[in-house]
Structure 1
Amino acid sequence: MIPQPISVRMTPGSDMAGTVVTTRVDPGLALEGYVLSCTPDGIDITGGSPAGVFYGRQTLRQLGPDVPCTHIEDAPRFAWRGVMLDVARHFMPVPEILRFIDVIAFHKLNVLHLHLTDDQGWRIEVPGWPRLTTVGAWRSSTMLGSRVHDLHDGEPHGGFYTTRDLRLIVDHAASRHVTVVPEVDMPGHMQAAIAAYPALGNGFAGAVRTGWGISPHVLNLSEATLDFCRRVLDHVCDVFPSEVIGIGGDECPTDEWPGGRELQAGFTRQMAAHLATRGRRVYGWDEILADGAPDGAVIAAWRGVEPAEVAIRAGHQVVCCPDVKLYLDYRQSDDPGEPTPVGTLLTVEDVFAYEPPDSPLVLGAQANIWTEHMESLSRVEYMAFPRLCALAEVVWGPADRDFPDFAARLPAHLARLDALGVNYRPLSGPRPSDARPSAPGNPRTLDDRLAELHEMTADLR
């Protein structure tokens, strides 16, 4: 029998016009779980917490204006359902960050990992260090497309977030039950900071990096520089209430140091110890596993699928984000019209098929959006959706899931994204206007990338 629909019409500034919607919290439910009941008498949403009530509301929104009589009991599988957004390579204004938070919260994602600093830009003001933003937040030009082409636009680019901006972002996210996890990458990926304050480096006296790739210019490990890092982390802790604080730790060349990789391990332990005095834990890329990550560190496992297993064996909690599975800057098809096609092929079905390791140490997973080739929110949305919809199903729903079922439901969900004004990639492929011929790419084969990853992760074996 087809149930009779309840006429529920969304109106701006209100919940539902003409229908009674009641909400309550029942601690007996899973913390983020909810029960949604729709009857001819009204709609009831019961959550295990305010977050659970919020997710029930998102399901109600997704059901559309004509809600059928239904009963839904739902709860997420993973606690960390995230996306990393790189605002260092291309700065995104505050309103665009807030809009992006709204869209990921609509998909019941609950972590926004903000990559705030890198060689190509420093995006956070720090009291007492004004040149971080007057100098470090600006570059003279931007590389167009893959670095193998060595093309530049010759246009200045930059921007930064004030403390007030960041508090606004944090509060906006919290009201949607999204935790903002900040990342200030150190001791590598620091050319922008060193350009602002050369005493932090090892003799480099140049500008913010304009090209992509990894800068050889890293922090020195003097006590003055360590104190700088502590002061930066103190300010980050003052602004962001997240239990974990990202310190990066990835891709750090050691050529400028009078020693090897063990020096970075010591640096990481010192920063972890300082964060512990603030009641926080280190969140770092899987390179910090080499020579032993600090106790309590959370590992973002990105160099393929192997580092997650290494972290689990070492007893660390893990957020899974393997590049060949969840890097949304990677190309979506072999169509030459894809904008700046880089990396290996990563389709919606590929993302949907990813399954994190079965371990209680796995907090969840996140997709990573590196923005070297995304100069606008519109471009970010094109690369993120609908692949991020697939990840939302992976981290929320059961391990036993069916792609044909998801594919059958996806067109109706894309209509919801249309209503939200999201510039998702059409299932039919890129539109002519999506191409970026001025920013050519460099596609990779999966076999080549897997061989490269095997070599890159030799430090973990």
Structure 2
Amino acid sequence: MSGFDVLLPKPSSVDEHPGVFVLGRSATLGGDAQAVSWLREVLGAATGFALAPSTTPDIAVNVVSTVDGYQISVSPESVVVTAGDEASAFHAAQTLRQLLGPQAFRAANVHSGQWEIPCGIVTDRPRFGWRGCLLDVARHFMPKDGLLRFIDLLAAHKLNVLHLHLTDDQGWRFEVKRYPRLTEVGAWRAGSRVGAHRDNVHDGRPHGGFYTQDDLREVVAYAARRHITVVPEIDIPGHSQAAIAAYPELGNLGTELPVWPLWGINENVLNTKESTVDFFRDVFDELVEVFPSEVICLGGDEVPTVQWTEERAEELGVQGVAGLHGWFIRQIADHLAKRGRRAMGWDEITEVGPLPDGVIVTSWRGEEAGIAAAQAGYEVVMCPEQKVYLDHRESDREDEPIPVGEVHTTADVYEYEPVPAELTGGATARVLGAQAQVWTEHLDSPRRVDYAAFPRLAAFAEVVWSSRAGKDTDEFLRRLAEHHLPRLDALGVEYRPLAGPHPWQTRPGVPGRPR
């Protein structure tokens, strides 16, 4: 084993040389990359060293446009990083942090002995441009400090997209100044279904919260410094009872509804009036002022049509009530295009009529819709629930907390291949990458999110960053256990142990729904 076998995700290539670079108290850090200030902050905290700027620094991080990805050259005298762009420089900084050992991930110095980096050359670049993770803050709200911490964890794994699921039947988390009742009413529910009960009972414990627009601007800026794009989602026209609770005229029943305290697919969807589409044009107008992401997700999944009418479909000239679904999606997608943005939607949108140019399809019910969309010329993000839904159970043990869905072990996630074998030629290039999903119906705290996400998200990070060549599950699991889990320990991540949950991570008596 070499000194570079600690790295996760695995780099493109390593050429190990004899010796080590010793990071001492008088060491300097400089260069022209923006990542230098971030690296000085985290390493300064962990080591207690000043790491002062210098014109001839011991550690230099520079952006050189002719470089593809990044290269780290370590000798006993210096560490020189060259990177093709600012994002690559930041990823190189994350690699240097890993090479210094788990104690480099702490917020204060507890290390004894020398800080050493092995000598050699690391050359690295990501396989995919979209290396994402969805976090659902609608079902269970995550306070802003927890969200910022989650962004740091994504950055530590070289992930670069946070898909933020901001609205659903159970809560509306985005402040819309034109429509204040969306958060005054829609951000709060009377209780939550406990586990996966099939009845209509909830716990009676109020739950809620929302982010102001300034909160989210802060989140976006914090993520951008770590080269993570925040892709917001306002889910329409289904999964919208929180909005209907705030503004009943958006619904179909003509009656007031509560913010939904249950889980599952809900028949209370938005109506298809022009006034409702105009309402959501206003909502998305405020959203794009807060989120600079080119891509904006409009949902489009799980839309029962039982409350819609054939008469309205005839008025609009669409084919049946199913055509109303596609009509609604196209109105908002076209509006986003006028604002210079690209719409993204769940794979149901491929079944409800033609899609506007530029729409991105997230293939979640399997890979089939993503394959068809890529073959039809659309760009695709692969996120099949059978592979990368991290709210699904991690084993078939009886003590898994609220076991839902299929078994997805860390090894299973690591063995996932985002580009389906059925795709060839240009269609292959339309797979932008992949995205892991952290839905929170049964994850009611950051501790529960930690348990569900890690260490499987570490496995996923290597899937979307590293080459398929030489992939070895046993080697990965050894590297994870020996080197990466100690980093998560240092960061305070309450991950699921590979051998099974700690007793305090179980949820005795709370029913799941395993498949």
Aligned residue in 2 for 1:247 = 298
Deviation (angstroms), 1:181: 0.1
Does residue 428 in structure 1 map to residue 499 in structure 2?
yes
- Asked if the contact 2:417/2:463 (under 8 Å) is kept, the reply is yes
| Residues 132 and 4 of structure 1, relative CA distance in 2, 3 Å threshold | same
Tell me the CA shift for residue 22 of structure 1: 0.4
Contact kept? 2:132, 2:435, Cα under 8 Å: yes
Give the structure-1-normalised TM-score: 0.93
Rounded Cα–Cα distance in structure 2 between residues aligned with 1:315 and 1:424: 39
Within the candidate set 247, 262, 283, 1:211 is matched to 262
Per the normalisation by structure 2, the TM-score is 0.84
User: Amino acid of the residue matched to residue 359 of structure 2?
Assistant: A
2:44 is aligned with 1:11: yes
CA distance in 2, matches of 1:97, 1:324: 26
Q: Distance in 2 between matches of 1:66 and 1:347?
A: 34
Which residue of the partner structure matches residue 313 of structure 2? none
| Secondary structure, aligned partner of 1:366 | strand
Q: Matches of 2:486 and 2:368 in 1, distance apart?
A: 37
Alpha-carbon distance between aligned partners in 1 of 2:309 and 2:401, rounded to the nearest angstrom: 42
8 Å contact 1:80–1:365 — kept in the other structure? yes
Aligned residue for 2:347?
A: 286
Counterpart amino acid of 2:454?
F
Deviation per CA, 1:346-399, whole angstroms, max 9, x where unpaired? 001111111112500000000000000001111101110110011111100012
Cα offsets for 1:127-152 (capped at 9, x unmatched): 12111011000000111101336552
Structure 1: how far apart are the matches of 2:200 and 2:447? 25
Match among 193, 196, 219 for residue 243 of structure 2? 193
Corresponding position of 2:104? none
Q: Residues 313-392 of structure 1 correspond to what in structure 2 (within 5 A)? A: 313-357=375-419, 359-392=428-461
Cα distance in 1, alignment partners of residues 194 and 476 from structure 2 = 35
Higher mean alpha-carbon deviation, 326-335 vs 4-13, is at 4-13
Q: Among residues 86, 91, 108, which one is paired with 1:50 in the alignment? A: 86
Counterparts of 1:115 and 1:284, CA distance in 2: 12
Cα deviation, residue 221, structure 1: 1.1
Q: Does structure 1 residue 267 correspond to structure 2 residue 328?
A: yes
Return 5+ residue gaps in structure 1 as ranges. 445-461
Q: Compare 215-224 and 71-80 and name the one that shifted more.
A: 215-224
- Deviation readout 1:437-457 (Å, 9 max, x if unpaired): 24321110xxxxxxxxxxxxx
Separation (CA, whole Å) in 1 of partners of 2:294 and 2:142: 24
Count of equivalent residues = 442
Give the letter for the 1:435 counterpart: T
Query: CA offset at residue 28 of structure 1?
Result: 1.3
Question: After superposition, where does 1:77-92 map in structure 2 within 5 Å?
Answer: 77-92=127-142
Task: Give distance in 1, aligned partners of 2:506 and 2:398.
Answer: 8
Query: How much identity, in percent, do the aligned residues show?
Result: 53
The structural deviation recorded for 1:436 is: 1.1
Any residues of structure 2 matched to 1:145-156 within 5 Å, and which? 145-148=195-198, 151-156=201-206
Structure 1 moving runs of 4+ over 4 Å: 13-19
Please state whether the residue corresponding to 1:147 is helix, strand or coil: coil
Q: Which runs of 5+ in 2 are unaligned?
A: 1-15, 25-42, 52-56, 101-114, 311-320
Alignment match, 2:472: 402
Change (3 A) 1:397 1:83: same
Kept in 2: contact 1:20–1:43 (CA 8 A): yes
Q: Are 1:145 and 1:151, in contact at CA under 8 Å, matched by a contact in 2?
A: no
1:234 aligns with 2:282: no
Partner of 2:244, secondary structure, is helix
Q: Deviations over 1:398-424 (max 9, x none)?
A: 122111221121111100111111111
Paired residue for 1:126, among 176, 182, 188?
A: 176
CA distance in 1, matches of 2:199, 2:396: 19
- Contact conserved, 2:390 with 2:439, CA < 8 A, in 1? yes
- Choose 58-67 or 129-138, whichever is displaced more: 58-67
SS state at 1:82 partner: strand
**What letter is aligned with 2:442?**
H
